[in-house]
Amino acid sequence: MLYIGVDLGTSAVKLLLMQADGTIENVVSKEYPLYFPHPGWSEQKPEDWWDAVKEGIKELTAACDKSQVAGISFGGQMHGLVILDEKDDVIRPAILWNDGRTGKETNYLNDVIGKDKLSQYTANIAFAGFTAPKVLWVKENEPENFSRIKKIMLPKDYIAYKLSGTFCTDVSDASGMLLFDVKNKCWSEEMMEICGITRDQLADIYESYEAVGKLKKDVAEELGLPESVVIAAGAGDNAAAAVGTGTVGDGQCNISLGTSGTIFISSRDFGVDENNALHAFAHADGHYHLMGCMLSAASCNKWWMDEILRSKDYAGEQAAIEKLGENNVYFLPYLMGERSPHNNPDARGTFIGMTMDTTREDMIQAVLEGVAFAIRDSFEVAKSLGIQIERTKICGGGAKSPLWKKIMANVLNIKVDVLVTEEGPGLGGAMLAAVACNEYADVEEAAARIVKVADTIEPDPELAAKYEEKYRKFAQIYPTVKDLFTKLL
């Protein structure tokens, strides 16, 4: 049988067609617009996602035996607010995960409601990108839209709804809304009251690998697929990527260098960082995970290369970088503000340390190292909790860079496992669909059978020692300059 994974990203949807044994038959990508109506705002039209998914599925399955398609599931950009009215029409463009407009609402939740109560209700504190602050923003700034809300959804759940007609979400994605009691895997009554919404406006909750329904008749006809196709709940993009990299079970680690960057640590047991610097979320394997998330990772390098250097030769530009661990230029990668561990939507990208002999290569290297150092900030929080990490998987667009992987291995001073297939959320989504169709007994069995390591990058002790010194200097920059950021707005 065949399984489709839908990776609903920020710049494009990437669709993957997988055989039951994990062999990838086809991959298709469809882009859609991203809107910035005001500085710090970030929006997309859910209708654009749906059009791209439909066209993508048609192209993805054009050459296969469509009768063999058994299931579809998802990895989706997290935290986005999608709201529908009583006619199931989208009320306003979706407010995305990297939108920074909710500073007032975030401060209200953290400072007035209180971080202790939020952590008690949801296992997390408020971050500007989370969904609950967005709900409060709409309530305050667009009361007419707020009064029309019939359904509150996350991005991938809008696609699941359009495919199956089931108003659903999964535990991993719901964990990032600040409306969900992560420990008990249910909606928080307290948070619903705080946000002025009702249970009827929130979706039914499923484990990521559970079937939520089947393809609607009209959609099946339009896509040319059988109505028997199972739609599985899917997962937030980071949890789906963790499934796709085999980061399931207890004590596994994955680093994702996508538009955002994450360090993801799986656990069989529920646990919370007492300072809430790391997110405590439910995992797509039925258990839990801790995650540190930075808002700009590979997107920092894309910005530097595309907008500043005006170069598309990423590999060529990096080829000239030779003196690792010796760069005196530092970069704070906070182009969209920052989440873990600083929780500061006002933070901004910053270069420091340039001199008259600073080179083009130094600046490129500083961007790559800055992202690695910022990942290490969350890594340090995990270590402070007694979590011992000796190796990690790696995925995302940035993972295609040999240089960046080498930097990451030495900045963290751990082994970095490179996978045979680096399809992250799309592969994870397809694997969840396969579990929902009983192709595998559970997510861990699917990961053990499908995910394979191609290579391991070992840290070099001498280089790791140099990066240890550099990181200690990097770690002093943000505390020194953070008060300037609000003055620069």
Question: Is 51 one of the annotated active-site residues of the chain?
Answer: no
Residue entry with tokens 């005001």: 38
The answer on whether 78 is annotated among ligand-binding residues is yes
Bridge partners (DSSP) listed for residue 419: 453
Rounded to an integer, what distance in angstroms lies between the CA atom of residue 250 and that of residue 332? 32
Which residue in 219, 256, 229, 240 sits closest to 53, CA to CA?
A: 219
- Phi/psi for 245 (5° steps) reads -105, 5
**Cβ neighbours of residue 75 under 8 Å, at least 6 residues apart?**
5, 6, 7, 8, 156, 234, 235, 236, 237, 239, 240, 241, 244, 424, 425, 426, 428, 429
Instruction: Render 150-209 in DSSP notation, one character per residue.
Output: SEEE-HHHHHHHHHH---EEEHHHHGGGTSEETTTTEE-HHHHHHHT--GGGS-EEE-TT
Catalytic annotation, pick one of 7, 237, 362, 417? 237
Which residue in 242, 200, 223 sits closest to 429, CA to CA?
A: 242
The answer on whether 342 is annotated among ligand-binding residues is no
Instruction: Render 100-118 in DSSP notation, one character per residue.
Output: -TTHHHHHIIIIIIIHHHH
**Cβ neighbours of residue 71 under 8 Å, at least 6 residues apart?**
1, 3, 4, 211, 229, 230, 231, 232, 433, 434, 436, 437
Rounded to an integer, what distance in angstroms lies between the CA atom of residue 178 and that of residue 79? 9
Rounded to an integer, what distance in angstroms lies between the CA atom of residue 452 and that of residue 418? 9
Q: Tell me the chain's radius of gyration from C-alpha atoms.
A: 21
**Cβ neighbours of residue 153 under 8 Å, at least 6 residues apart?**
82, 83, 84, 161, 167, 169, 203
Helical pair 46-60 and 155-164, crossing angle rounded to 10 deg: 60
Annotated binding site for substrate: 78-79
Q: Which positions are catalytic?
A: 237
